[in-house]
Chains A and B, each alone.
Chain A
Amino acid sequence: MSDNLIEIRDLSFAYQERLVLKGINLSARRGQVIAIMGNSGCGKTTLLRLIGGALRPTRGLLRVDGVDMGSLDQTGLYRLRRRMGMLFQFGALFTDISVFENVAFPLREHTALPEEMIRDLVLMKLNAVGLRGAQDLMPSELSGGMARRVALARSIALDPALILYDEPFAGLDPISLGVTGNLIRRLTDTLGMTSVVVTHDVQESLKIVDYVYFVSEGVIVAEGTPAQIKASDLPYVHQFVHGEEDGPVPFHYPAPGYADDLALQPC
């Protein structure tokens, strides 16, 4: 068994003619939490969707748990996905069933466990995210942070080897932010999983991750441990980590000269 759960070599991906990812190299060791960071539209969510098998690489190698994702048929992909969980940005809970049934959903779909065992497992997963008491609530009765924790409980229901997080910190209050971050770290460690976090929340993710990849315009521009990233003097990383308004990522969208645009005549 390879030490790396995710292995990406020279991966490119294009939406029709538009090249979104260009020659990505990335790996995630088992048990690690890695973060993929970058500004909006840089291709990081596309990368996550590729790892999850929702998209196919245009070129290059993408291996998850030793399986080449480029050559999988749907049966193979679904088999692999039973060992994979994904936390969507807003939880993506099924709104017509309760919290309990949401967490029970993967168990009911993929196992023939007796009802008592399903109940025990669901309560254990809900307890792990601190929401055992909310089991009878409907998703519409949950706050954004709670919905994401329920979704997290649902994604760990089948004890996956890999969990993918799409912007887990977006739109959360400071308390929920810390709770979610700690949960990701704790669950990864206690359940022996590997986690891939796509985020642009630098401060929160640097606290919990083992390794960071910075993506900009479809290429990895920097990588390293949180300490290396914090100390980096690369202009892009520096701008990102310190939230500076202007830098390699300009404040202004490309435009003609300001004076020309306002049609100012020289005096």
Chain B
Amino acid sequence: MLSGLANGLRGIGRRVVDGVWRMGVATRFFLLTLFHSGQSFRRFQLIIREIFTAGVLSLIIILVSGLFVGMVLGLQGYETLQTYGSEEALGILVALSLVRELGPVVAALLFASRAGSAITAEIGLMKATEQIAAMEMMAVDPIARVVAPRFWGAVISMPFLAALFSAMGILGGYLVGVILIGVDEGSFWSQMQAAVDFKEDILNGVIKSVVFGIAVTVIALFEGYDAPPTAEGVSRATTRTVVTSSLAILGLDFILTAFMFRGV
């Protein structure tokens, strides 16, 4: 009985220590990535390649999802606003929901599943097939050559993807609200223009997407770099990337929202 309890406690302790240890290693990895970023900026074509892989190739899923999310917002928003006779405010509702919350959050969640998982799998497999070791043997630092360009490529892409998501969402809201249901077009746009503040809403949304971009990319890169070099190891790391970064996005969103929109 007593030994069972001791074993249980020991297990919890070990898991906590392992967790803290991993956090430390991940932080060190992140700092090393920043430290070795100079070379990536001197050879900017490396970053451009990664912007293409992480950003441009994610466009389809981001644009299509943004459109549908906006259309649903248009439908649901109209239903509710109509009850209070204020359906002209649909533009505000759609734009603020997207720019402040849904744009950065949903775009980051999609980015984690589409690009984050790909980054983890690619780096994990590079490690499993000794490509990372080969690079080190050629006196090329893999953090500088492989990790840093991917980091910056993804971090630069993220705010653009979130902005495009929001833009498509607003278009979706417009299509459903104005074209389909018949909300007054003038009030849809003018109320939106009057109510959405550049600094308060758009800039905060951009800050959110940059923070999420950093979180998702660091998690994806670290999980790939830290994955055991086996098929099972890479598959588990890929799953962990999606789960951890989704939780990180939602947790960070709460913290950022609490700071940004308190009392507004």
A191 contacts chain B at the CB level, 8 A cutoff: no
Q: How far is the CA of A78 from the CA of B136 in the complex (A)?
A: 8
Contact A90 B130 (CB under 8 A): yes
Chain A residue contacts of B138, Cβ below 8 A:
81, 105-106, 109, 154
Contact B141 A78 (CB under 8 A): yes
CB contact under 8 A between A90 and B133, given known A81-B139, A106-B138, A109-B138: no
User: Which of B131, B139, B140, B141 contacts A92, CB < 8 Å?
Assistant: B131
Q: How far is the CA of A151 from the CA of B137 in the complex (A)?
A: 12
1/0 contact string of A201-224 vs chain B (CB within 8 Å): 000000000000000000000000
Chain A residue contacts of B140, Cβ below 8 A:
105-106, 109-110
Contact B131 A94 (CB under 8 A): yes
Contact B137 A81 (CB under 8 A): yes
Q: How far is the CA of A122 from the CA of B133 in the complex (A)?
A: 22
Q: How far is the CA of A87 from the CA of B190 in the complex (A)?
A: 66
Contact B134 A109 (CB under 8 A): no
Q: CB-nearest residue of chain A relative to B132?
A: A92
B27 contacts chain A at the CB level, 8 A cutoff: no
Q: Which bucket holds chain A's interface residue count?
A: 20 to 34
Q: Which of A62-80 contact B (CB under 8 A)?
A: 77-79
B129 contacts chain A at the CB level, 8 A cutoff: yes
Q: Which bucket holds chain B's interface residue count?
A: 10 to 19
Contact B129 A109 (CB under 8 A): no
Task: Give the interface centre of B129, B139, B140, B145 by most chain A CB atoms within 10 Å.
Answer: B139
A95 contacts chain B at the CB level, 8 A cutoff: yes
Chain B residue contacts of A21, Cβ below 8 A:
none
Shortest CB-to-CB span from B44 to chain A, Å, is 15
CB contact under 8 A between A86 and B139, given known A95-B129, A109-B145: no
Q: CB-nearest residue of chain B relative to A88?
A: B130
Chain A residue contacts of B133, Cβ below 8 A:
54, 88, 92
Chain B residue contacts of A54, Cβ below 8 A:
133, 136-137
Contact A84 B131 (CB under 8 A): no
Shortest CB-to-CB span from B18 to chain A, Å, is 17
A168 contacts chain B at the CB level, 8 A cutoff: no
A29 contacts chain B at the CB level, 8 A cutoff: no
Q: CB-nearest residue of chain A relative to B49?
A: A96
CB contact under 8 A between A88 and B139, given known A95-B129, A109-B145: no
A52 contacts chain B at the CB level, 8 A cutoff: yes
Chain B residue contacts of A154, Cβ below 8 A:
138
Q: How far is the CA of A90 from the CA of B131 in the complex (A)?
A: 10
Shortest CB-to-CB span from A145 to chain B, Å, is 17
Shortest CB-to-CB span from A26 to chain B, Å, is 20
Q: Which of B50-73 contact A (CB under 8 A)?
A: none
Shortest CB-to-CB span from B137 to chain A, Å, is 4
A22 contacts chain B at the CB level, 8 A cutoff: no
A82 contacts chain B at the CB level, 8 A cutoff: yes
Q: CB-nearest residue of chain B relative to A52?
A: B137
Shortest CB-to-CB span from A195 to chain B, Å, is 15
Contact B139 A82 (CB under 8 A): yes
Contact A79 B139 (CB under 8 A): yes
Chain B residue contacts of A92, Cβ below 8 A:
129-131, 133-134
Q: Which of A167-208 contact B (CB under 8 A)?
A: none
Contact A88 B145 (CB under 8 A): no
Contact B130 A78 (CB under 8 A): no
Contact A86 B131 (CB under 8 A): no
Shortest CB-to-CB span from B9 to chain A, Å, is 26
Chain A residue contacts of B129, Cβ below 8 A:
90, 92, 95
Chain B residue contacts of A106, Cβ below 8 A:
138, 140
Q: How far is the CA of A77 from the CA of B136 in the complex (A)?
A: 10
Chain B residue contacts of A82, Cβ below 8 A:
139
Contact A110 B134 (CB under 8 A): no
Shortest CB-to-CB span from B241 to chain A, Å, is 19
Shortest CB-to-CB span from B230 to chain A, Å, is 15
Shortest CB-to-CB span from A55 to chain B, Å, is 12
1/0 contact string of B187-206 vs chain A (CB within 8 Å): 00000000000000000000
1/0 contact string of A97-140 vs chain B (CB within 8 Å): 00000000110011000000000000000000000000000000
Q: How far is the CA of A151 from the CA of B130 in the complex (A)?
A: 12
Q: How far is the CA of A79 from the CA of B140 in the complex (A)?
A: 10
Measured CB to CB, the residues of A under 8 A from B are 52, 54, 77-79, 81-82, 84-86, 88-90, 92-95, 105-106, 109-110, 151, 154
11 A-B residue pairs with Cβ-Cβ distance under 8 Å, sorted by A, are: A52-B137, A54-B136, A54-B137, A78-B139, A81-B136, A81-B139, A92-B129, A92-B134, A95-B131, A105-B140, A106-B140
Measured CB to CB, the residues of B under 8 A from A are 126, 129-131, 133-134, 136-141, 145
What 8 A-B pairs have minimum CB-CB distances, sorted nearest first?
A92-B134, A92-B130, A81-B139, A78-B139, A86-B137, A88-B130, A106-B138, A82-B139
* Extra pairs beyond A54-B137, A82-B139 (7, CB < 8 Å): A78-B139, A88-B133, A89-B130, A105-B138, A109-B145, A110-B140, A151-B134
